[in-house]
Amino acid sequence: MALNCNTKHPLKYDGTGQHQRFIEALEPSSVNVHGFTLRDWMHFAFDFAGKLRYFHLSDDQKHAGNWQAFLKSANEIEAFLKDAALVEDESWLTDEEREKILQKPPKGNYEPHLALFLSFLKLMKFSQKQMNQLGKRHMDFYFKQVLQLSVKPAVPNRVHLIFELAKNAVNDILPKGTLFDGGKDKNGKPILYATTEELVVGKAKVASLKSIYHEAGKTIRYAEETNSLDGLGTEFGDENPQWNVFGNKRWPVASPGFALASNVLLLKEGKRKVTVDITLAENTFPTDFPDIETVQSGILPLFSGEEEWMEPSDFEVTHTPSSGNRKLSLTISLDAAADAVVPYDPEIHEERFNTNLPILRILMDTGSDNGYAIYTALKEAVVTEVNMGVEVSDIRDLKLENDMGRLDGSKPFYPFGTIPKQGSSFYVGSAEIFQKNWNEIKLDIAWKNKPVSLEAHYAAYKGTRVPTVDGDGYFTVKARYIKNNQWFPTGISAASHPLFSDTPAKGNLTIGRDASDTGVRLSLLASPLLMKKGVDINKAVLKNYLTKPTGEQETQKAFFLKPVSAIFNVARFNPGFRRPLFKADSFGPATKDNFLRLTLDRGFLHEHYPECYSLAMIEKAKNGDETDIPNAPYTPEIASLSVGYTATAGNKITFDSDSSPEDKFNNYKDRVIQLFHEHPFGQNEQHIFLKEQVHFLDGEAKRNIRLLPVYAHEGELYIGLENGRPSDVVSLLIQAVEGSEDPLAPTFTGNRQIEWFALVNNEWQPLQNQFITQNTTNNFLRAGMVKIQLPAGVNTSNTLLDKGFHWIKAQLPEGLTHLSVCEISGIYAQAAEAVFTDRRNELLHPEEAVPAGTIGKFLEKPPLIKAVDQPHASFGGAAEEKDQMFYTRISERLRHKNRAVNLWDYERIVLEKFPSVYKVKCLNHTSNILEDGTPDYFEINPGFVSLIVIPDIRNQDSFDPLKPRASRQLLSEIQKHVSTLHSMHVHFDTCNPDYETIMLDFRIKFHDGYDPNAYLNILNDDLVRHLSPWAFGEHSEISFGGSLYKSVMIGFIENLPYVDFISQVRMYHRQEENDDNTDDLNVVAATSARAILVSARNHKITLIDNDEICHE
């Protein structure tokens, strides 16, 4: 296996900075054709006068010296010029100072010929200046006339504008070139801006921002209000707040999970035990499932209570294999003191469940290690079936009646009347029990004054027609229950049940459901949005809703074979369950459900008592006291009655591939359990039939139902649009704060980019290129606009998020973090870009930023637009190119010919194109990333070129001054630009430097009189300033490579005026961001060609106490 090459780059090179680009020879004034100054002319004239012979008028044959006597000597010239106030270069003088010099009164001691000579020299400067412009004219002629190159014109600045429609307007079209008033320039001329393209202004506006942040391996967080300090609405303290839309560790922890809704959960009172068995598909249940203690501590069950969500008294979780699949089982208990489990009420429970049934929620606190562990273990699990069961005892709130009327169960009562006889009936009513798929009902009866032995009690009853009571079991009842106006068991075959148990004063009566009763089925809830008047609630309704009924066979074909994506609206077809309510106060002809009837098979011999009593008295008269007198017949009286029962419900969720559409529809229609996913902002029902109605789902998303919602990406932003309409084109302004991303975070490479979705019927529809008509944000790395056409199927009735809005989702691609994008200072709808239009305005305007709020009105206001606003300052302006930059650019262009071949070419091309780059270093045969995208660093890798970029941090707040790093936006723009100029065989990459930290650890004693606490901070600042002077605005180079000796730092510290002495000096070299290396080094050297040595932010400095000093 080949090993990585560790050979270091042989070229020791510091790169090129912006200030190094300018060549002095390109400055026309660097070489003048005529460069004499006044001083030069005076000295020249004096020297030249020495070459001219002077002849006296009296003797023109013999010279009498030279002409220097008429001029000042070389020693006197400087004083003469100064005294004459002849300033050679007056450019540094103010107008006031120049005026004072010119008005200075003459001393009167200047000789006329010298004054004339100086005047001549001053006038000659005009000709001299024109002559000295020959070099500039020649260069301009060559560059501009011969080569036909021109100065870069001024670049107009741009602004983003937001529009608001008038109250009753639906939309309005702003044509390209619409003008806006931007105030006046310094000369009083109006500043005008014009839109760059047509905009259809609609009513949609951004009304809500929400986010989910999945910190992989740790937790899941959410923001109810993304544009707030804590995600819950707390306002920022800054005037210009900015926030990360994809993640913030201040946000609250989310508790995702699942929920089950079923009528079997209607549990008003008593001791209640709920069992849930969830069958998970084979190979989707984790093999490393957490232990039971972890699971139970990470799960929170909640029931829909009368006033709030209610926690159970106890619960336990188990998991077992089942025919290749796995079962996750939960047993949840509520004691008798717990409140009732009631149907879900959105006003009380404040969630977004689409049901009116009682609900059991299973939530996972991802803020705890155990909660996140159980979520991670189950997030990929696929549900195939859900079964629920309840076991309830001690129900006392019952509707009780007999043949005589209503009974009060709160005190003793006669269930079969005061004279019970064969056929007397006792009715027990309970809406809770009988609307469920119950298995058995158990009546726990406490009898009042019941004889210990009914056989003994009736022993004296004798007669030819008097039946013999042979025990307590003699008295039996037949139990029937009514359902849909039919009594079960049907016919006369109902079994008899003993009325009394073997225990005195007790009676336990257990009744099972008749086999002919095939179960309780809940009907679809007839919604006025869905059901047509006069149509029965059955499968035909759905068929009629899907397509026009042109015949039964054709309708069936349309439903089961024809794709229904365009004609089936899942959000409108949103059936809940009709919950059968026990409305009748008493049993009667109108009662169709909810009653159990106990009918006596035999009477209690009340009709025989008079006869038996008369016979016994006659016998007694004959035989005396030996005759037994019959007891009064026992009249059954109940002291207390409670009912218990068991019930079950079950639903198939995921189907095999060979299941027919009709099977799936029937299962959905007849479902008795609803499975919901629990999201931070809402819930949505899960069923394979619903998935198959969504045309944009495919593959696994359409075939399988997961137990839990999955957040596979680190960050998701939800944008709620108010007042939008399907198919609207919404222009969103994403105001990113450029440079605020983390340059060390993973970046957008290859085809990875921000993904966009629209919420359609509780499912996220991907927005492909046909829906994204414009995107200038570069993946949230710069401020820009995103134009999105809403799909035709978008709706505002979703339950995943707030109703009333159309929801758009922006999602980070897999592998990127929330630090990979810039922070955001605003998101707006109905945005347009406008550009400055030059109307001979003051030239400095294009490069000056126009403050936010400057533009607030049209030049000519359209009637349908209510307002226009400029939320942020302008951007992108630049003044006309100056001569010096023009000469530098053209000379570089003539050398590299717009082709990146050698190091010089790469560096100059980047520095010229990107003025925000302070310094750049090109490394040949050096790679930062391999061809397959894997990050790796090799200094000897032929075919690779790396460009190390240092941004200009002057007057910038978004950079770390000690470790300035270029933004991802800047790096990507450099990459894109240079990649078009180098050879096709070159693998090119841009990156930031490696900043390697130097940290000093020592002990120190200050001179007396210096405050130790204050000077510890001063010393730390001095060390940082010495090691990284550029961070303090000083004109100092940021240099690559280099080394530092400990002795140099010791000398620097000891020479500080407030330092007495230091000891135990250690110097650490830390190469990584979180490196805590403590190896003491005498020399620290940069480890790579792209490394820069910088100071640690805080050095470890320890004071030496006076007690530690040895005094002689």
pLDDT in tens, 290-321: 777 778 888 999 999 999 999 998 888 887 76
Closest CA relative to residue 78, chosen from 88, 63, 68: 88
Q: Copy the structure tokens of residue 953.
A: 């941090």
Q: How far is CA 763 from CA 120, 700, 711, 1063, in A?
A: 90, 14, 14, 67
Neighbours of 531 (CB within 10 A): 18
Give residue 332's region: left, alpha or beta (phi > 0; psi -120 to 50).
beta
More confident residue, 741 or 333: 333
pLDDT beyond 70 at 349: yes
Strands 917-924 and 16-17: antiparallel
Token pair 């849930």 in the structure block, residue: 276
CB 638 within 8 A of CB 413: yes
How far apart (Å, rounded) are the C-alpha atoms in residues 845 and 843?
Answer: 5
Percent of the chain, pLDDT > 90? 46
Residue with tokens 């030819």: 464
Tell me the mean pLDDT in the region 199-204. 94
**What per-residue confidence (pLDDT) applies to 548?**
35
Which residues, other chains included, contact 433 with Cβ-Cβ below 8 Å and sequence gap of 6+? Answer: 395, 441, 594, 643, 645, 647
Report how far apart, in Å, the C-alpha atoms of 370 and of each of 266, 362, 375, 405, 752 are: 30, 14, 9, 57, 33
Average pLDDT over residues 398-404: 92
Task: Dig out the tokens for 757 from the structure.
Answer: 């979705």
Which amino acid appears at position 315 of this protein?
A: F
Question: What residue has token string 């946000």?
Answer: 251
- Residues 6 or more apart in contact with residue 732 via CB below 8 angstroms: 206, 719, 785, 786, 787, 788, 808, 827, 828, 829, 831
Asked whether the predicted pLDDT for residue 676 surpasses 80, the reply is: yes
Judged against a pLDDT cut of 50, whether residue 536 lies above it is answered with no
Say which residue the tokens 């009646």 belong to.
401
Instruction: Enter the tokens of residue 566.
Output: 């365009």
More confident residue, 537 or 751: 751
Asked if residue 378 lies in contact with residue 278, where contact means CB atoms within 8 angstroms, the answer is no
Poorest-pLDDT segment among 79-93, 310-324, 609-623, 723-737:
79-93
Which of 249-263, 438-452, 570-584, 1089-1103 shows the lowest mean pLDDT across its residues?
570-584
pLDDT at 118: 81
As a whole number of angstroms, the distance between CA 210 and CA 902 comes to: 49
Provide the pLDDT for residue 747. 84
CB atoms within 10 A of CB 827: 20
Question: For 729-742, how does the pLDDT look when each residue is reduced to its tens digit (9 = 90+)?
Answer: 999 999 998 888 88
State mean pLDDT over 760-770.
92
Residue 523, pLDDT score: 27
CB atoms inside a 10 Å sphere around CB 450: 21
Least confident piece of the model among 706-720, 956-970, 1053-1067: 956-970
Paired tokens of 298: 């990470």
The answer to whether residue 556 scores a pLDDT higher than 90 is: no
Burial class (CB in 10 A: 0-12, 13-18, 19+), 186: exposed
Rounded Cα distance, 733 and 286, in Å:
43
Average pLDDT (745-765) is: 90
Q: What percentage of residues in the chain have a pLDDT greater than 70?
A: 85
For 750, residues 6+ apart whose C-beta sits below 8 A from its C-beta are: 933
- Please give the average per-residue pLDDT across 422-437, as a whole number: 89
Residues facing 124 on adjacent strands: none
Q: Provide the pLDDT for residue 657.
A: 65
Whether residue 168 has pLDDT greater than 70: yes
Is the per-residue pLDDT at 1015 higher than 90? yes
Pairwise CA distance, residues 1049 & 1000, whole Å: 9
Mention every residue, 6+ apart, whose C-beta is less than 8 A from residue 1046: 1065, 1067, 1081, 1082, 1083
For residue 85, the model assigns a pLDDT of: 54
Alpha helices in 239-383 (DSSP H): 292-298, 346-349, 369-378
- Residue spans of the domains in the chain: they are 32-132, 158-202+832-869, 205-248+713-829, 257-382+654-703, 395-520+580-646, 527-571, 994-1108
In terms of Cα–Cα distance, which of 139, 270, 76, 256 is closest to 712? 256
* Alpha-carbon gap, residue 348 to 305, rounded angstroms: 9
> Once rounded to an integer, what is the mean pLDDT over residues 577-603?
70
Output DSSP code: residue 146: I
DSSP conformation letters of 664-727: HHHHHHT-S-EEEEE-SS-EEE--HHHHHT-TT--THHHH--BSS----SSEEEEEEEES--TT
Q: So what's the pLDDT on residue 8? A: 72
pLDDT-based confidence at residue 165 (cuts at 50, 70, 90): very high
Distance from chain centroid for Cα 1091 = 34
For the cut 80, the answer to whether the pLDDT of residue 358 exceeds it is yes
Structure tokens at 187: 């000369």
- The alpha helices in 279-429, defined as continuous H runs, are 292-298, 346-349, 369-378
Pair of tokens at residue 495? 């079994």
Peptide bond into 489 cis (omega under 30): yes
DSSP 144: I
Per-residue pLDDT band for 1051 (boundaries 50, 70, 90) equals very high
Q: CA 616 to CA 460: how far, in whole Å? A: 8
The predicted model gives 406-427 an average pLDDT of 93
As assigned by CATH, the class of the 205-248+713-829 domain is mainly beta
Question: Six-digit token pair at 475?
Answer: 């008295």
55-64, 341-350, 817-826, 840-849: least confident range: 840-849
- Give the closest residue to 1054 by CA, choosing from 1083, 1014, 1026, 1013: 1026
- Determine which of 218-227, 317-326, 515-524, 779-788 has the lowest per-residue pLDDT on average: 515-524
**Structure confidence at residue 204 (pLDDT):** 94
Residue 377 scores a pLDDT above 80: yes
Give me the mean pLDDT over the 552-565 stretch. Answer: 33
Residue 591 CA neighbour count, 13 Å, CB half: 22
State the Cα torsion 288-293-299-301 to the nearest 10°.
Answer: 130
Element (H, E) at 1019: helix 1012-1027
- Of 928 and 479, the one with more pLDDT: 479
Residue 643 predicted with pLDDT over 90: yes
Range with the poorest average pLDDT among 186-195, 834-843, 914-923: 834-843
What pLDDT is attached to residue 534?
A: 30
b/e code 736-755 from CB counts within 10 Å (16+ = b):
bbbbbbbbeebbbeeebebb
DSSP H or E stretch at residue 427: strand 425-429
CB 559 within 8 A of CB 689: no
Separation CA 565–CA 683 (nearest Å) = 22
Residue 567 is encoded by which pair of tokens? 């004609």
Q: How buried is residue 94: exposed, middle or buried, by Cβ count under 10 Å (0-12/13-18/19+)?
A: exposed
Amino acid letter, residue 347: E
Residue 329 bridge partners (DSSP):
277, 318
In the block, which residue shows the tokens 């007042």?
A: 723
Give me 1092's structure tokens. 């820069």
State the residue for tokens 């993946």.
779
Residue 274 has pLDDT above 50, yes or no: yes
Distance in angstroms (rounded) separating the CA atoms of residues 52 and 66 = 5
Helix-strand-coil split of the chain, %, nearest 5: 20, 30, 50
pLDDT digits (tens, 9 = 90+) for 85-126: 554 445 445 666 666 665 666 555 667 887 788 888 888 888
Q: Does residue 69 surpass a pLDDT of 60? A: yes
Tell me the average pLDDT across 388-395: 94
pLDDT tens digit sequence for 962-989:
888 888 888 889 999 999 999 999 989 8
Contact of 935 with 929, CB cutoff 8 Å: yes
* Between residues 858 and 652, the one the model is more confident about: 858
Q: Indicate the pairing of strand 944-951 with strand 987-991.
A: parallel
Q: Where are the beta strands (DSSP E) in 271-398?
A: 271-280, 299-304, 309-310, 314-322, 325-334, 359-364, 383-395
User: CA-CA distance, 292 to 784, in Å (whole number)?
Assistant: 51
Q: Which of 539, 524, 268 is nearest to 393 (CA)?
A: 268
Neighbouring C-alpha atoms within 13 Å toward the C-beta of 566: 3
- Give the span between the Cα atoms of 716 and 699, in whole angstroms: 22
Q: Are 1071 and 1088 in contact (CB under 8 A)?
A: no
Report the Cα–Cα distance between both ends of the chain, in Å, rounded.
66
CB contact set of 522 (below 8 Å; sequence gap of 6+) = 263, 577, 578, 579, 580, 670, 672
Does the structure show a pLDDT above 60 at 248?
A: yes
